[in-house]
Every structure is written in C-alpha cells, then in structure tokens.
C-alpha cells in the first residue's frame, strides 16, 4: 500500500479510513481521492505508474462503502481480477493489514486454480465480501447455473494490470465475462488499473460497458526516469545476443546498488547471461535467476529470498514484468534491445517502487545493431512516444468458448446472448453473421456436410432456447476453460526416480533433439541429458561441461513498427550521430560511403558475391517474424526463377538470402499481389498454420486439452490436431476454424500485414545496390545464427537416407534383402 506521508485534508473519506490515515500521518494521493469521488461512475480506467498506490486506489471505494457502522451485509461486494495467481495472494495479504487496522469486519479471500475444491464449494455457497481471482476462475464461476445467486450482491469489479490482459485473449475472455456479470447486475461498476500505456483510449474502449463510455483518469506520472545506455569499456560484438562483453560493467553496477533486476528478452539469453555472470562473480554476490520455464518451487524460493532482501540481483525475463511488490529494487538493467518502447517503460517502472523518486535504468545492447535500436528506444522514451500494435476485433475462438460456457450455465436465447456480447469492448462491432457462425460451430461443428446434426452439441428447443443436448458434456467444457496455450513441454528432473529434484521444463521440440550425453543449461546450471522416461527428462549435473545449447524457443518479440520507423529515421540523419558511441557512428559512416543507408519509404536491397555465392540483403525493417516470412516467400519465388537459393537468415531489420545465381532485378519480387498470392499458397501446408490451428481449435472447444481420467501421455492414443487441420483443409476449406486460423497466422507468427505494408510503402522506390563485396551493414548478418536451409529435397529422401543408415548399422541389411515392388 502506498501513500504520501504529507498531512492533508481527508474529510471526504468515511471515518474508519480517515482515522486510519490520521493515525499514521498519511494522506491520499490526488488520484486516490479522485477514485473515491468517482465511485459511482459505471466504468473508470486509472493509469498510474508503478508504485503510485494504484491497487489501494482501486479498493478505496469498496472500503468506503463497506466501512459502515456495524457488520457489513453478507455477500460478494467486490470482485478483484488479476492476471497472476501469485498477485491475488499478494493482494490478500497487503489488503488484509489496512482492513484489520481500520477495524473493518471484512472477509477477503482468493480463488484460483490452486484453491482446494472444498473451499471453492464453500465460496460459492457463502461468498466473501471481496473475492480475488483470475479471468479463468471467473469464467469457470460463470459456467455454473448458480452464478446469478453467487453474484447477486456484486457492486464493483476491479481489473488489475489491465494493460497486460489487454494484449492477449485472456483480456477478450475477461471482457465477455464482465458483459455476463453486467447482465446479471446492471448496476455493476468497473474499474481498470493500468500501467503507463501508449493508448489509454484503446484500453478504456475494451473496459467500457458499451454503449456506455469509460472515463480515463491519469495519475501524476512522477519524475522522469534516469535512463541511459550502460557504459562498457569493450564495444559490443557485431552479432549475437549474449552480451558477454557487458558482464564486468553489470557486475560493477550490482555492487553499487542494493538490488538490481536484469531483464532479458528470451529465456535462453537469460540462462546464458546468468551462467556467464556467475562465472565472473568473484565476490560471490547473491544472484538468482527467474523465468517461466523454471520449476515453480524454485521460482517461489527466488521470490521469497527477494522479498526478504537477500538477493543483490535477479536475472529474469517477462516473468517479472508484472505485479509483485519487490520493494528494494533500485536499478533495472535491460540486456539486449527492448524491441518495444512500452515494455521498456514498464520494466523500468520495476525499479524504485517509491513515488517521487526517479526510477533508474541502464540498457546494454548485445550487438552493434542493437546499439542503434537502443538509442532509438531511448529517444522515443524521452519523447513519451510509446508503441503498440492495435489488436483488432475480438477473436472468434474466444467467442465460441464463451458461448459454450453460457450453455453450461443454462439455456440461453441467441438474441439475448448476442445483445450481451456486443456490450463487451472487443466485440462491440461484432457482425451478427459472425456470432451466428460461432453459435453454429458450437452447436453442430459448423461443417458444410451436415452428417450428424441429430447429435448436435447444442439444441434449439421450445421457447427459442439453446440447451446442451447432453448435460454431462458441461463437465468437459468446464475442464477446458481458458485461453492460455501451454506449448508442449516436458518436465526436467535431476536423478532417476520420479522423486528426482524438479528443475523446470523444456519444450518438447527441443527435447526431441537431445541424445544421451548432450548438455544444456537450465536454471543456471549445466546438466547432462540421461534419458527420456514416461514423458520426463532425466538429467544429471555436469558443471564442468560446456552447454551444447540453451533450451527454449520462448516468445520472440519482433521490433515494433513505431520503433522500426524511428530507427530508420535515426539512420538517415544528415548531421551524423553525435549521440551514438563512436564505434557505431564510424560503422554507419562506412556503410554510407560504401553503399547506402536504408531510408524511410524506400527499400534498400544490396546484392554482392561472398564466398562464391550470390547474396541479397533486403532491409525491410518489418520485424523478425515478417522478415522470416519474407525469406520463405522470396526464396520460393527465386527457386521458380531458377536462382537456386540455398538459404536465408532473418533479423528484425533485414533478410539475407544466398544462392547460386545473382538477383539482377528485385522489383518484380515485391509486387504486392504476387506476394499475397504466394503467401496464401505457402500458408496452407505450413507448420505455422497447423500450430495456430491447434491453439484456435483448443480455445474454440474442438480439441480438449483435459479430459476426465486422462493419462499424462494419453496423447499417443488420440490423433493429432494436424490430422484435423489437413482433413478440414481438404474437405471444408471455408470452415470457421480455418478462417480464424488464417486471420491469426497473418497477424501473428507470419505477420504478413507488415510485409504488405512494407511493399506498399516502398512501391517503385527500391534502392538496389550492386556491390563488389559485403557491405558494413550486411556483414553482421553473415554471423547470425538460425539460418534456414532451403531444400527441395523432401522429407521422404531424408527418411530414406536415415533408415538405410540404421539398417546398415544394425546389420539387418545383411540378413534381409528386400526387393522393391513395382
């Protein structure tokens, strides 16, 4: 709880709150007063920096209303929703203390997936005054027929960290749940609490009970942060992401501060950096690592040690982007370019939870190009220019799940449900035809072939009400509520038995590449892969070995459109780069004299020979995902043109393609229509589509993640979602789920929208440079890892070679001489 320690008039607050403040010599912040004053408004969005007493501001009206003389009335008054389970427990503790000190007789409880079932049953029968929960638990509560009784007295909903929820389908699901609640309780008031964002109006639009508006209240943002690039005696390398050159400077910073958070963009980078930091940690400073793939007990231990103030630094990822009150953090270091300015600002807010003291942050670029990106991000920050991609309309897979949840709670009328759904921000503009398609999907599957309509899942019965045909199917629907997609992961344990020490998880795709004896990093230690048993990975410590590879795909954020534009603008400055380190400025000067610098609204393409192969470097500045897609599309076309491409590599700003024949005229490759056509063709059989389909089909309820009595490795008994995708693509290509899949892939991993924008922006303005050798700007691309090999050779050929080898190795080839049939 955060308050100002200045005496101030507090007469607006009810007596117990006033007395509590007075006893401590505290008073409320302006925005906390404002929240009390607006307590009756239907919807309010509060934007406040970290440490601004945001959560208390959200709860004050509740405390004021419940601080009546005598015992407050029974029943649920306020629902608090947070994206993190851990945060609900944290808030329960932090809110419990002032409530007790005010002498209020209130019950505050949390309810998440971890709450025991008997407690959950009791809570449904006899709810507390304030219930702290997550979007998924709320959706589950709403799926029971007794929801109207449970929420009968509900007055207020507080949505914490709404900026984080707004970026994912969890937010869309939550807004649908709020629409349901609002229908049950028309007088319900909503409050959203948000960190600093680029577009408060967009979040207000999400939260508003349409057509009613949502007011935005902005707290004093506090003093400007003290932020700069980290000084390192050694210049960053040309490529790579490990930032090993920054280790001594980072250690020095840790020594000079109480507690430092060291943010990384990916788990793999965090692991590598942590190991290097530990090897150089001659003073034995207590430093820990925290990220989402580590075992939960290990993460909890780190969090507890942090709260006790025992750690000097934590190497972390987005897992610490949100929430928990870390108290004494006085420095944030961001390793690697932040990819997006908004996240950088929010991370910096993690330093110094005290209002009115500037947060302190340093950025350490991992390579030369990131120096430019960091400089651009710093400029954007100082200019207050945050970025963000608009999310578009609410996704239909989430809507399908919502319709199924509604059916679980009881029979519904389609018109009434539609009217309710369009009061939710993400679905305010939902066409009725889309709703009807989703309803049809839930009821019958929505297939062009109506083979089994007798057994549809939802049935329209007398009175125009939709019912679950078999009420028992509600159980399966409830078990699969939620929009979070776990990628397939396997647990890693140290030691043989099931009781072995859990270390964390790795992705199945990574696990599949391991052979016994391989070493990798997890939780900062090097381990040796011993065996894969019962879907668990058994490892033993191998501290002396060099890790073969670090482990996680993780989320790879692409550099935002706005930041990319700023980088281009920075590159083309006429007066040079006085703000950039000298080595970076020299590099850019060299590029300008040898070739050219990328210009806004132009597409720079360099072609040059290198090691006997023709190279083409396309500076699209479209972000990693789009540049990767561009590489796949262009190499396909180049193969058709007979240029024999051999491979490519993509970064956030460019794609480098190499092949046997030089590219003489690049312009036809970038025709927008041709690119779109190629993309459609290429997508259909693509693994990205299958992955996206699996997520959409799971959320929409076609595929169940959980089923009663399922064995952990039961996945072997069921057929894969790829088969469903292939079957639909072959027999029903216009099906709703394929439509959803295409839309999501285009703006997600494929990110074709940015390729199209780039093609439009630069049409007819291609700066093509034929060079005699690699340019300074392209040189680091040659060092990039993760190149994609183009091989016309099909999987079958690879299989033929591998099976032949296995036959020969085993000696079986000698025993049998199979004949190939005609």
Of 432, 586, 731, 765, the one binding other proteins (CB under 8 A) is 731
Sheet holding 329-335, edge to edge: 226-229, 360-364, 329-335, 259-263, 313-316, 287-290
Partners of residue 288 on adjacent β-strands: 314
Q: Is 820 in the site for other proteins (CB under 8 A)?
A: yes
Identify the CA nearest to 503 among candidates 520, 491, 517, 489: 491
Which span (110-118, 161-169, 675-683, 807-815) binds other proteins, by CB under 8 A? 807-815
Q: Is 71 in the site for other proteins (CB under 8 A)?
A: no
Of 224, 553, 667, 806, the one binding other proteins (CB under 8 A) is 806
Which span (77-85, 281-289, 498-506, 711-719) binds other proteins, by CB under 8 A? 711-719
Which long-range CB contacts under 8 A does 810-819 form with residues at least 24 apart? none
Distance in Å, CB of 552 to other proteins, minimum: 15
- Give the span between the Cα atoms of 179 and 425, in whole angstroms: 9
Which span (55-63, 602-610, 633-641, 699-707) binds other proteins, by CB under 8 A? 699-707
Element (H, E) at 20: helix 15-24
Distance in Å, CB of 262 to other proteins, minimum: 30
Partners of residue 533 on adjacent β-strands: 536
Of 532, 565, 590, 788, the one binding other proteins (CB under 8 A) is 532
Distance in Å, CB of 72 to other proteins, minimum: 43
Q: What are phi and psi of 703, to 5 degrees?
A: -115, 135
Q: Is 258 in the site for other proteins (CB under 8 A)?
A: no
Distance in Å, CB of 463 to other proteins, minimum: 22
Q: Is 709 in the site for other proteins (CB under 8 A)?
A: no
From the number of C-beta atoms within 10 Å of its C-beta (0-12, 13-18, 19+), residue 651 rates as buried
Q: Is 717 in the site for other proteins (CB under 8 A)?
A: yes
- Give the span between the Cα atoms of 684 and 625, in whole angstroms: 18
Of 30, 234, 540, 727, the one binding other proteins (CB under 8 A) is 727
Q: Is 821 in the site for other proteins (CB under 8 A)?
A: yes
Residue 601 CB-half CA count within 13 A: 0
Of 461, 601, 718, 793, the one binding other proteins (CB under 8 A) is 718
Q: Is 553 in the site for other proteins (CB under 8 A)?
A: no
Binding mask 445-474 for other proteins (x = CB under 8 A): x-x-x-xx--xxx----------xxx-xx-
- Give the span between the Cα atoms of 156 and 76, in whole angstroms: 9
Distance in Å, CB of 180 to other proteins, minimum: 22
Q: Which is nearer to other proteins, 43 or 738 (CB)?
A: 738
Q: Is 810 in the site for other proteins (CB under 8 A)?
A: yes
Task: Judge whether 571 and 598 are in contact, CB under 8 Å.
Answer: yes
- Give the span between the Cα atoms of 645 and 655, in whole angstroms: 13
Q: Which is nearer to other proteins, 422 or 724 (CB)?
A: 724
Task: Judge whether 481 and 113 are in contact, CB under 8 Å.
Answer: no
b/e map 412-426, b = 16+ CB within 10 Å: bebeebbebbbbbbb
Which span (126-134, 171-179, 251-259, 696-704) binds other proteins, by CB under 8 A? 696-704
Distance in Å, CB of 457 to other proteins, minimum: 6
Which residue reads 């006997």 in tokens? 612
Q: Is 512 in the site for other proteins (CB under 8 A)?
A: yes
Q: Which is nearer to other proteins, 579 or 802 (CB)?
A: 802
Binding mask 425-444 for other proteins (x = CB under 8 A): -------------------x
Of 723, 733, 770, 773, the one binding other proteins (CB under 8 A) is 723
- Please give the size of the binding site for other proteins, defined by CB under 8 A: 60
Of 228, 416, 484, 812, the one binding other proteins (CB under 8 A) is 812
Q: DSSP of 113-139, one letter per residue?
A: TTS-HHHHHHHHHS--SEEEE-HHHHH
- Give the span between the Cα atoms of 781 and 648, in whole angstroms: 10
Q: Which is nearer to other proteins, 664 or 805 (CB)?
A: 805
Task: Judge whether 275 and 262 are in contact, CB under 8 Å.
Answer: no
Q: Which is nearer to other proteins, 93 or 805 (CB)?
A: 805
Task: Judge whether 600 and 728 are in contact, CB under 8 Å.
Answer: no
- Range list of β-strands (E), 230-268: 259-263
Distance in Å, CB of 733 to other proteins, minimum: 11
Task: Judge whether 391 and 429 are in contact, CB under 8 Å.
Answer: no
Distant-in-sequence, close-in-space partners of 791: CB < 8 Å, separation ≥ 6: none
- Give the span between the Cα atoms of 639 and 765, in whole angstroms: 24
Of 97, 383, 531, 553, the one binding other proteins (CB under 8 A) is 531
Q: Is 814 in the site for other proteins (CB under 8 A)?
A: no
8-state DSSP, 503: E
Q: Which is nearer to other proteins, 23 or 799 (CB)?
A: 799
Q: Is 565 in the site for other proteins (CB under 8 A)?
A: no
Task: Judge whether 330 and 311 are in contact, CB under 8 Å.
Answer: no
Q: Is 787 in the site for other proteins (CB under 8 A)?
A: no
Q: What are phi and psi of 86, to 5 degrees?
A: -60, -35
| Residues near other proteins, by CB under 8 A | 444-445, 447, 449, 451-452, 455-457, 468-470, 472-473, 476, 509, 512-513, 515-516, 531-533, 701-704, 715-720, 723-724, 727-728, 730-732, 735, 794-796, 798-800, 802-803, 806-807, 810, 812, 815-816, 818-822
């Amino acid at each position: 709880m955060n308050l100002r320690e200045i005496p101030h008039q507090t007469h607006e607050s009810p007596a117990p709150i006033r007395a509590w403040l007075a006893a401590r010599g505290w008073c409320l912040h302006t925005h906390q007063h404002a929240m009390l004053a607006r307590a009756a408004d239907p919807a309010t969005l509060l934007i406040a920096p970290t440490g601004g007493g945001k959560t208390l501001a959200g709860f004050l009206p509740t405390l004021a209303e419940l601080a009546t003389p005598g015992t407050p009335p029974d029943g649920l008054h306020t629902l608090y929703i947070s994206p993190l389970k851990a945060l609900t427990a944290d808030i329960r503790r932090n809110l419990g203390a002032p409530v007790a000190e005010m002498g209020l007789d209130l019950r505050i409880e949390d309810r998440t997936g971890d709450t025991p079932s008997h407690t959950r049953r009791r809570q449904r029968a006899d709810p507390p005054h304030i219930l702290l929960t997550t979007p998924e638990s709320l959706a589950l509560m709403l799926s029971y027929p007794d929801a109207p009784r449970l929420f009968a007295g509900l007055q207020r909903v507080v949505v914490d960290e709404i900026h984080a929820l707004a970026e994912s389908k969890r937010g869309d699901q939550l807004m649908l749940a709020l629409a349901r609640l609002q229908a049950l309780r028309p007088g319900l008031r909503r409050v959203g609490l948000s960190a600093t964002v680029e577009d408060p109006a967009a979040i207000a639009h999400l939260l508003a009970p349409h057509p009613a508006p949502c007011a935005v209240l902005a707290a004093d943002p506090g003093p400007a942060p003290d932020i700069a690039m980290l000084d390192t005696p050694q210049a960053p390398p040309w490529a790579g992401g490990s930032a090993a050159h920054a280790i001594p400077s980072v250690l020095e910073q840790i020594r000079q501060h109480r507690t430092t958070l060291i943010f990384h963009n990916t788990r793999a980078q965090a692991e590598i950096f942590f190991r290097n930091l530990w090897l150089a940690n001659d003073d034995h400073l207590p430093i820990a690592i925290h990220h989402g793939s580590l075992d939960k007990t290990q993460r909890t231990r780190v969090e507890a040690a942090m709260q006790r103030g025992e750690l000097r630094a934590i190497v972390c990822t987005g897992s610490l982007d949100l929430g928990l009150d870390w108290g004494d953090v006085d420095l944030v270091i961001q390793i690697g370019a932040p990819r997006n300015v908004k996240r950088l600002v929010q991370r910096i807010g993690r330093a110094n939870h005290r209002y009115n003291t500037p947060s302190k942050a340093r950025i350490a670029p991992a390579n030369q190009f990131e120096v430019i990106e960091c400089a651009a991000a710093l400029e954007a920050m100082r200019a207050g220019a945050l970025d963000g991609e608009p999310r578009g309309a609410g996704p239909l897979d989430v809507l399908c799940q919502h319709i199924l949840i509604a059916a679980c709670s009881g029979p519904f009328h389609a018109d009434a449900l539609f009217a309710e759904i369009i009061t939710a921000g993400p679905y305010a503009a939902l066409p009725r035809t889309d709703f009807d398609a989703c309803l049809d999907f839930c009821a019958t599957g929505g297939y062009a072939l109506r083979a089994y309509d007798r057994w549809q899942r939802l049935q329209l019965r007398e009175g125009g009400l939709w019912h679950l045909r078999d009420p028992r199917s509600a159980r399966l629907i409830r078990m699969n509520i939620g929009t979070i997609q776990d990628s397939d992961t396997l647990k890693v344990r140290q030691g043989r038995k099931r009781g072995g020490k859990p270390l964390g998880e790795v992705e199945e795709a990574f696990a599949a590449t391991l052979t016994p004896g391989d070493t990798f990093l997890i939780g900062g230690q090097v381990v040796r892969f011993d065996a894969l048993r019962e879907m668990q990975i058994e490892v033993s410590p191998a501290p002396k070995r060099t890790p073969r590879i670090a482990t996680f795909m993780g989320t790879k954020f692409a550099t935002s459109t706005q930041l990319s534009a700023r980088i281009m603008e920075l590159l083309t400055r006429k007066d040079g780069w006085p703000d950039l380190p000298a080595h970076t400025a020299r590099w850019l000067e060299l590029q300008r004299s040898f070739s050219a610098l990328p210009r806004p609204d132009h597409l720079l393409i360099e072609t040059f020979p290198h090691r006997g192969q023709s190279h083409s470097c396309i500076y699209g500045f479209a972000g990693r995902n789009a540049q990767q897609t561009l590489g796949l599309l262009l190499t396909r076309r180049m193969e058709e043109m007979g240029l024999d491409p051999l491979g490519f590599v993509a970064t956030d700003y460019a794609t480098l393609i190499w092949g046997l024949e030089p590219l003489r005229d690049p312009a036809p490759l970038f025709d927008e229509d041709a690119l779109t056509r190629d993309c459609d063709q290429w997508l259909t059989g693509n693994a990205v589509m299958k992955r996206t389909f699996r997520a959409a089909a799971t959320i929409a309820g076609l595929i169940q993640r959980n089923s009663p009595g399922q064995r952990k490795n039961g996945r072997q008994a069921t057929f894969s979602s790829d088969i469903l995708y292939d079957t639909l693509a072959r027999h029903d290509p216009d099906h709703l789920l394929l439509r959803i899949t295409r839309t999501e892939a285009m703006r997600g991993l494929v990110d074709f929208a940015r390729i199209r924008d780039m093609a439009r922006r630069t049409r007819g303005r291609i700066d093509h440079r034929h060079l005699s050798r690699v340019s300074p700007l392209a040189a680091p691309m040659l060092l990039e890892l993760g190149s994609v090999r183009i091989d016309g050779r099909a999987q079958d050929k690879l299989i033929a070679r591998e099976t032949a080898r296995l036959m020969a190795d085993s000696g079986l080839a000698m025993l049998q001489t199979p004949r190939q049939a005609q």
